Amino acid sequence: MSRSIEQTDAHIFKTYGRFPIAFVRGEGAWLWDDAGRRYLDFLSGIAVCNLGHCHPAVVRAATEQLERLVHVSNFFYTAPQAELAEQLTRHSFADRVFFCNSGAEANEAALKLARRYGNAAAGGPRSEVITMQASFHGRTFATLAATAQAKVQEGFAPLMPGFVYVPFNDFDALQAAVNARTCAVMLEPIQGEGGVNVPDADYLKRVRGLCDRAGLLLIFDEVQVGMGRTGRLFAHEHFGVTPDIMTLAKALGGGLPLGAMLASQRVADLFTPGSHASTFGGNPVATAAGCAVMRELLDGGVLENCRAMGLYLQDRLEELQKRRPEAVACVRGRGLILGMELRGSGKPVVDRCLADGLILNCTADRILRFLPPLIITRAQVDECCAILDRALGAAG
């Protein structure tokens, strides 16, 4: 067994179920382990490496910044975070950006901003946030309470109060849950961890309407589905709706740790000097990488490839479903976040694919989740489907 595996198993908290593979190199959609074996990556570090591994533009931007200036503090100004903030606001509904280092932190910032909003509300303080069943918003105390999944919350009582859960894609249940204490609705436009759940075409529009009528903030967690994953820069663009607050992380830094909370001016004004902070937030190296990611997504043909390959992969998966109806219940998703719902457990299929050189993920027990880099090619999609077909055949 490799030294990395021994050291990890001996010295790192056992918070992750890991496969016994140690990776040493990546390029595009390929990864190599320490024995020199090559794998096709349909996970992308969980929707992080959207441009593939070691994209030259990201490597160049980060390396150049690393050699010039690594860190100062947010008492001062630096060019990369200024540039990335301008890019993000220019290409979204938002007027202002708060930078942090992860998805959970971005959601913490959003929830703190929602508190400010609720506490300043006419008619008395409001502090309840409605979130969705099967959601995922992070593992910190506030985001854990926002995440309506018993298995994530188990053993951490008492949870932070002030969260109410309703089923995803059920407008009537949401409307019924709104009361005089509600200040915000927070949801993923497409649920990732919950099983690649895509809402009905008009659901988010109705949610937006309800928020407007009741004076609630609408918060979209685009940590997983933002940054081009669905074939548009932000997933909510598919639904013709804009939120008041949006959170980003995962793919934002091209593999470097970077998160952001974005808001419209009206809401952003509620944060003033001292309201919130992060030592590393907007770090020059991470944001320089983020600028390169934005340029590639917008000008490098990556969104177009994501849309085309997303449709192609979805077709191929639906073909598989038709040929193996005993194993596959349905296929769903948008762009290059696709889910294949199996009739049985996904774990043996994932294990067989891995043994055959394909990295796939299973979420919510029975949903195979496809998150290839957005630069994936037709030949690589074909290779994925051939391996998956063999794995399904062996499992059935």
Ligand X SMILES: *Cc1c(COP(=O)(O)O)cnc(C)c1O
Task: Please list the active-site residues.
Answer: 136, 221, 250
CB 384 within 8 A of CB 361: no
Judged by beta carbon, residue 309 or residue 371, the one nearer ligand X is 371
Out of 26, 45, 80, 103, name the contact with ligand X by CB under 6 A. Answer: 103
Out of 26, 52, 80, 138, name the contact with ligand X by CB under 6 A. Answer: 138
**Least CB distance to ligand X at residue 45 (A):** 11
- How far apart are the C-alpha atoms of 319 and 324, rounded to whole Å? 9
SS3 132: strand
**Least CB distance to ligand X at residue 377 (A):** 25
Out of 108, 128, 188, 296, name the contact with ligand X by CB under 6 A. Answer: 188
How many residues of this chain bind ligand X (CB under 6 A)? 15
Q: Tell me which stretch binds ligand X (CB under 6 A): 7-15, 90-98, 131-139, 310-318.
A: 131-139
**Least CB distance to ligand X at residue 224 (A):** 3
93 is a contact residue toward ligand X (CB under 6 A):
no
Residue nearest to ligand X (CB): 103
Q: Which among 243, 186, 188 has a CA at the least distance from the CA of 47? A: 188
**Least CB distance to ligand X at residue 309 (A):** 21
137 is a contact residue toward ligand X (CB under 6 A):
yes
Judged on CB neighbours under 10 Å (0-12, 13-18, 19+), 225 is: buried
249 is a contact residue toward ligand X (CB under 6 A):
yes
Judged by beta carbon, residue 65 or residue 363, the one nearer ligand X is 363
Out of 221, 244, 296, 341, name the contact with ligand X by CB under 6 A. Answer: 221
Adjacent-strand bridge partners of 129 = 163, 184
Judged by beta carbon, residue 87 or residue 191, the one nearer ligand X is 191
**Least CB distance to ligand X at residue 200 (A):** 19
48 is a contact residue toward ligand X (CB under 6 A):
no
Query: How long a stretch of residues is the chain?
Result: 396
Q: Which among 6, 73, 71 has a CA at the least distance from the CA of 34? A: 6
- How far apart are the C-alpha atoms of 307 and 336, rounded to whole Å? 7
- What does the radius of gyration of the chain's CA atoms come to, in whole angstroms? 21
Q: Tell me which stretch binds ligand X (CB under 6 A): 98-106, 152-160, 346-354, 362-370.
A: 98-106
Residues 6+ apart with CB under 8 A from 154: none
Q: Which among 359, 376, 390 has a CA at the least distance from the CA of 33? A: 359
Q: Tell me which stretch binds ligand X (CB under 6 A): 65-73, 132-140, 152-160, 359-367.
A: 132-140
**Exposed e or buried b per residue across 361-395, where buried means at least 16 C-beta atoms within 10 angstroms of its C-beta:** bbbbebbbbbbbbbbbeeebbebbbebbeebbeeb
Judged on CB neighbours under 10 Å (0-12, 13-18, 19+), 164 is: middle
360 is a contact residue toward ligand X (CB under 6 A):
no
Binding site for ligand X (CB under 6 A): 102-104, 107, 136-138, 188, 192-193, 221, 223-224, 249-250
